[in-house]
């Protein structure tokens, strides 16, 4: 695949923090997009692409001073692995904090979210085990499952009845060719699917897994901190007891404005992982300033910093997502995803519309993310919007205006629009 023609739609460099408004560096090319060179010009654009759900991306009044203090005390890196003297008092505090936030007995933290999945699954599963994963799971889970050597089966995206069918068939059949019974079965699902914006049907899936004695693994990369009344993820939102999920995984890149990943589970599982997981034994420990950012942002979310900014942020993101989604649907766009989810893909379908949509929006100073093959099927291209708690109502209105104009130009309003909202405050309010 050689998308030189629209290479400028991907990998756009920025020169400021990825906050609600940021500076996109303009690039030019002399050889038809084969190489793109940076220019010194920047344009201030509205950011609808970064994973900044709670607005912790830029310098924050509570978090940043503490992060800088930690930087001076512990240096940007420990240069060693967790078992070798890279464990600082901060790391232990972080793990206890994350465990209490996620409502599990214990947690372990790694330096990168991708490595968390890739290095945990081979430890837990091996030959003779079965991994059943949702068909739209993220690449890190697929890599981890392949690296484990277990047999992998897929169930149709978010359909618990198909999961039950697959489980029954697999348990009855046993291992392929030898028909010996499976050693263990684990079902892997995600909290919010990043390309669909949908929430997982967690209560039904947990019920199915309990009935057939399979273990569950929940990847909350996009949902931790962003959904739920107090930001504790899909379990809180859908009313599932965290003790029913065997292993909960998440990343800190999205809602907490930091880096790294965590695994939360029972005490024995975490002790076992600390002894055997290669990412813990061989990977550098998470950078101490990043760890402090996570602790401080969780404190803000829980209101332990003495203000109610956390509760405000959570309410804001819910309000923003629901407002934006309903407005887009009213305009006639096809928007995927459930209510309350801050990720909303707008379907473009035709891959030729991708560069048009992306470039036109950028001309009007709105930066969007367009996703093409191979992250999505070839004919299901989409533009993915990520709402943040730091977007104000004016920002969203401007975004809606621009997207509506560009949508008309490109021709992606596949559904009939609702009639104009008439006579609000005595004036007709028109969005396009």
Partner 1 sequence: MEVSTMMSSTVQNLMNVTFDWLNSTLDAPSVRAVVFGFNIRGHLFIEVFLLVVILFLLSQKSYKPPKRPLTNKEIDELCDEWVPEPLIPSLNKEFHYEPPAIESSAEPHTIVNGKEVVNFTSANYLGLLGHKKLLEACTASLDKYGVGSCGPRGFYGTIDVHLDCEARIAKFLGTPESILYSYGLSTMFSAIPAFSKKGDIIVADEGVHWGIQNGLYLSRSTVVYFKHNDINSLRQTLEKIATQNKRLKKLRRYIVIEALYQNSGQIAPLDEIIKLKEKYRFRILLDESNSIGVLGSSGRGLTEHYGVPIEKIDLVTADMGRALATEGGFCTGNTRVIDHQRLSSSGYVFSASLPPYLATAAISAFDILEKDPKLIKKLKNNISVLWKGLSGISGLTIASNQESPIVYLKLKKSTGSTQEDLRLLESIAEIALREDSVFVVTSKRSTLDKCRLPVGIRLHVSAGHSESDLRKASESLKRVAKQVLGGS
- The interface with partner 1 within residues 357-416 (CB under 8 A) comprises 367, 369
Choose one: 269-277, 322-330, 348-356, 421-429; the region binding partner 1 (CB under 8 A). Answer: 269-277
Applying CB under 8 A, the site for partner 1 has a residue count of: 109
| Distance separating alpha carbons of residues 239 and 232, to the nearest angstrom | 11
Give dist(CA 85, CA 319) in Å, integer: 45
Shortest Cβ 19–partner 1 spacing (Å):
8
50 forms part of the interface with partner 1 (CB under 8 A): yes
Distances (CA, A) of 55 to 103, 377, 387: 23, 31, 10
User: By C-beta, is 47 or 404 nearer to partner 1?
Assistant: 47
417 binds partner 1 (CB under 8 A): no
Nearest CA to 295 among 53, 54, 71, 98? 98
Nearest residue to 52 via CA among 7, 14, 97: 14
Residue (8 or 331) nearer to partner 1, CB: 8
Q: Least distance in Å: CB of 234 to partner 1? A: 20
Minimum distance of partner 1 from residue 144's CB (angstroms): 10
Q: Which of residues 44, 127, 168, 229 is near partner 1 by CB under 8 A?
A: 168
Place of tokens 């050597």: 149
Does position 25 interact with partner 1 (CB under 8 A)? The reply is yes
Closer CB to partner 1, 115 or 336, in the complex: 115
Closest CA to 97 of 246, 258, 229: 258
Please say which residue, 47 or 321, places its beta carbon nearer to partner 1. Answer: 47
Gyration radius of the chain over CA positions:
23
Say if CB 200 and CB 190 are below 8 A apart: yes
Strand order in the sheet with 130-134: 106-110, 261-265, 247-251, 215-219, 185-190, 130-134, 151-155
Q: Interface with partner 1 includes 157 (CB under 8 A)? A: no
- Tokens 């191979």 belong to 374
Question: Of 246 and 327, which has the nearer Cβ to partner 1?
Answer: 246
Of 281-320, which residues contact partner 1 (CB under 8 A)? 281-284, 287, 289-290, 293
User: 130-134 and 151-155: which strand pairing?
Assistant: parallel
Confirm or reject binding of residue 6 to partner 1 (CB under 8 A): no
84 counts as binding partner 1 under rule CB under 8 A: yes
């Amino acid at each position: 695949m050689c998308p030189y023609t629209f290479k400028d739609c991907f990998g756009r460099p920025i020169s400021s923090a990825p906050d609600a408004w940021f500076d996109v560096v303009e690039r030019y090319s002399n050889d038809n997009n084969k190489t793109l060179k940076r220019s010194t010009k920047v344009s201030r654009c509205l950011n609808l692409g970064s994973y900044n759900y709670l607005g912790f991306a830029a310098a924050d009044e509570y978090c940043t001073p503490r992060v800088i203090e930690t930087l001076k005390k512990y240096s940007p890196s420990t240069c060693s692995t967790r078992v070798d003297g890279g464990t600082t008092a901060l790391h232990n505090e972080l793990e206890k904090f994350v465990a209490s936030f996620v409502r599990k007995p214990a947690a372990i933290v790694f330096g990168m979210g991708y490595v968390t999945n890739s290095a945990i699954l081979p430890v837990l599963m091996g030959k003779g085990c079965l991994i059943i994963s949702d068909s739209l799971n993220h690449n890190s889970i697929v890599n981890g499952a392949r690296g484990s050597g277990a047999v992998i089966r897929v169930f149709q995206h978010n359909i618990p009845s198909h999961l039950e069918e697959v489980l029954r068939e697999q348990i009855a059949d046993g291992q392929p060719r030898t028909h010996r019974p499976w050693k263990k079965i684990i079902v892997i699902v995600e909290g919010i699917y990043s390309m669909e914006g949908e929430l997982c049907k967690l209560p039904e899936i947990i019920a199915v897994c309990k009935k057939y004695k399979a273990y569950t693994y929940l990847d909350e990369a996009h949902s931790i901190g962003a959904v739920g009344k107090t930001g504790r993820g899909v379990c809180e939102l859908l009313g599932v007891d965290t003790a029913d999920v065997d292993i909960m995984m998440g990343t800190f890149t999205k809602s907490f404005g930091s880096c790294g990943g965590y695994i939360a589970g029972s005490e024995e599982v975490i002790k076992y992982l600390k002894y055997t997981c290669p990412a813990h034994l061989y990977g550098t420990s998470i950078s101490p300033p990043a760890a402090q950012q996570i602790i401080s942002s969780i404190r803000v979310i829980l209101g332990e910093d003495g203000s109610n900014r956390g509760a405000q942020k959570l309410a804001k993101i819910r309000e923003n997502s629901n407002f934006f989604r309903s407005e887009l649907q009213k305009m006639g766009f096809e928007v995927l995803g459930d209510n309350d989810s801050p990720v909303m893909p707008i379907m473009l379908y035709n891959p030729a519309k991708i560069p048009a949509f992306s470039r036109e929006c950028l001309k009007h100073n709105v930066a969007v993310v367009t996703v093409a093959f191979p992250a999505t099927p070839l004919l299901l291209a989409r533009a993915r919007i990520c709402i943040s708690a730091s977007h104000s109502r004016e920002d969203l209105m401007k975004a809606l205006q621009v997207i509506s104009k560009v949508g008309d130009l490109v021709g992606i309003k596949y559904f009939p629009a609702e009639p104009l909202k008439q006579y609000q405050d005595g004036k007709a309010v028109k969005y396009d």
